[in-house]
Structure 1
Amino acid sequence: MAVLDDTAVVAPPAPKRRYRRPLSVLLSVVVLLVVWWALAAAEIWDPIFLPSPGRVWDAFVYSVTSHNGSPGYQGYYLWEHLWASLWRILRGLFWAILFGVPLGVLLASVAPIRAVIEPYVDFLRALPPLAYFSLLIIWFGIEDTSKVWLLFLASFPPITLATLAGVRRIPVEYLESARSLGASRWQLVVHTVLPSTAPDVLTGIRIALGFAWTTIVAAETSNGIPGIGGLAWATKKELLTDVAIVCVITIGLTALALDAVLRLVERALVPWAGRT
């Protein structure tokens, strides 16, 4: 009788999927650059409308170097513009999380308060940022305060509503079990409600961060230098299309990087959520 050798373990083939997506992204970028270069070389459109990849690269190099003692564009390096915008976004997002999560829990827990306040949150969510930015400038001036308020108001509704939805989806059995074990209201919130809603809260933060990035150019149209949105807005005066493209690419890559960080945080804090 043949005896099976338990020590002989055949290693599974290395997964190929992990390499497919990066290679697909890389290939798509290469194809995009080739098509972009070909269209620019064909001079179908004026270079003001479609600068070549080389011109955009030169604009990027110019933005990170100094010239006659003056750094980059508008007196700041590109990373200084980017950090100024990031700092505004992070402050607005911080206050949105600080107020949005507790309010979402409160709205889900107290029906009368939800009936009164939730329509206002929905109303604020539906408003485009430029609709009330003039009011914020009148109230808080043209410095960073009005910009942070604008970013806060853009980020606050999705975090609040995501938290509200997460709390309302908690199975009643979980809450009743915690109460039967003698949990106080505070313990119920800290040990049951918040962990159960963490996936929804993190999703709301990711959405809010996206809203903040789409709002930053509007926030920096007034006294937005230094700022990556302010720099993009300033390019229209001199028709610096190549610089505008540098700003767009910088904003997009930074937003993707921050979203990737939030995904890693999500996987670390709520691995049971099964997010990808």
Structure 2
Amino acid sequence: MTQTTAPARPQSDRIRSDQEPAPSPRRAGPLGPQRVRRLGLHLASVAALLVVWWLVTRAGLVRPLYLPSPGAVWDAFVRANSDHPIAPGSDRIVRGEQNYYLWEHLVASLQRIAIGVGAAVAVGIPLGLLMGTTWLGTLLEPYLSFLRSLPPLAYIGLLIVWFGIGDTSKIWLLFLAAFPPIAMSTISGVRGVREDQVNAVLSLGASRRQTLTAVVLPATLPEILTGIRVATGFAWTTVVAAEIANGIPGIGGLAYLAGEQLQSALVIACIVVIGLAAILLDLGLKSLEKVLVPWRGKA
């Protein structure tokens, strides 16, 4: 009885099968183990802070005027977002705080931020490109540094004299707070462009405008977006100063007015909303940066 054997594979097939790459590991989803651990750590730290805060107020270690309890802050937040009697037992119903809900105060401040920072972007980026590529940088940069070093409260009174107590003075203040970081980051980005890239494009016959739009601006875009993030954060921290005078509606104006009226719980509620809004703004700008400059850190 003859025994049949399977034909041996050719040597080339064995070599090819041995050299086949191993299957790549599956990418982690949007909620991978690291992100879950990071989220859990953040939630645990917030919970620990709330527990310590509650224990301190529960034990009476600090007077409620100086540090209200978490429950009082939550009640102030709910009260600021609902219709409620003007006083216990009164039939007169008021709307939120200062006749606006808290979210309406926040939207009013965001609108001022958007106009002020938007104007700073529209002026700061072209001026920064011009200063970074011409002699105007040497002439104007000291004035830009001087403007960047001024605290907003130093000229809020002058802006009110010039433009009144309406939104115009507030938007100008936010513009002046956001303009220097955007312009200076643009200048820094332009000066960081490699000269051999510019010379290579020029040697191929590109004009100055083509060099600016095809080489300088894309290479500068990561720095510009970083400057916009810094400027937005700086303008957001200036919102309370901008809304000191006639800042209603406005989250900064509400926080300032509540402090004058010794409503500590409402002040803390406004502070928490301001902080959370700033975090969401920064996350939005970081997401925009990933879309516009996906090559950052990879090239």
Shorter-chain TM-score tier: over 0.9
3-state DSSP of counterpart to 1:272 = coil
Structure 1 outlier segments of 4+, above 3 Å:
1-15
3-state DSSP of counterpart to 1:35 = helix
Q: CA deviation at 1:30?
A: 0.5
Does residue 20 (structure 1) correspond to residue 37 (structure 2)? The answer is yes
Q: What stretches of structure 1 of length at least 5 have no aligned partner?
A: none
Q: CA deviation at 1:69?
A: 3.8
Kindly tell me: are residues 69 and 186 of structure 1, through their superposed partners in 2, closer, same or farther at Cα, counting changes over 3 Å?
A: farther
- The aligned counterpart of 1:203 is 226
Q: CA deviation at 1:274?
A: 2.6
Measure, in 1, the Cα distance between the counterparts of 2:22 and 2:194.
46
Compute the RMSD of aligned alpha carbons: 2.0
- The aligned counterpart of 1:178 is 201
Relative to total residues, which structure has the larger helix share, 1 or 2? 1
3-state DSSP of counterpart to 1:70 = strand
Is the radius of gyration larger for structure 1 or structure 2? 2
Once the two structures are superposed, what CA deviation does each residue of 1:193-215 show, in whole Å capped at 9, x if it has no partner?
A: 11111100000000001110111
TM-score (norm 2): 0.87
TM-score (norm 1): 0.94
Q: What stretches of structure 2 of length at least 5 have no aligned partner?
A: 1-7, 85-91
- The aligned counterpart of 2:128 is 104
Does residue 29 (structure 1) correspond to residue 46 (structure 2)? The answer is yes
Does residue 271 (structure 1) correspond to residue 294 (structure 2)? The answer is yes
Kindly tell me: are residues 186 and 7 of structure 1, through their superposed partners in 2, closer, same or farther at Cα, counting changes over 3 Å?
A: closer
- The aligned counterpart of 1:85 is 109
Kindly tell me: are residues 186 and 60 of structure 1, through their superposed partners in 2, closer, same or farther at Cα, counting changes over 3 Å?
A: same
3-state DSSP of counterpart to 1:271 = coil
Measure, in 1, the Cα distance between the counterparts of 2:181 and 2:27.
43
Once the two structures are superposed, what CA deviation does each residue of 1:202-242 show, in whole Å capped at 9, x if it has no partner?
A: 00000001110111000000000000000000012221111
- The aligned counterpart of 2:58 is 41
Q: CA deviation at 1:79?
A: 0.8
Once the two structures are superposed, what CA deviation does each residue of 1:89-130 show, in whole Å capped at 9, x if it has no partner?
A: 11000110001001111111113x112110000000000001
Measure, in 1, the Cα distance between the counterparts of 2:196 and 2:25.
43
Once the two structures are superposed, what CA deviation does each residue of 1:26-72 show, in whole Å capped at 9, x if it has no partner?
A: 11101111111111101101111111100000001001101244211
Kindly tell me: are residues 8 and 156 of structure 1, through their superposed partners in 2, closer, same or farther at Cα, counting changes over 3 Å?
A: closer
Instruction: Give the letter aligned to residue 53 of structure 1.
Output: P
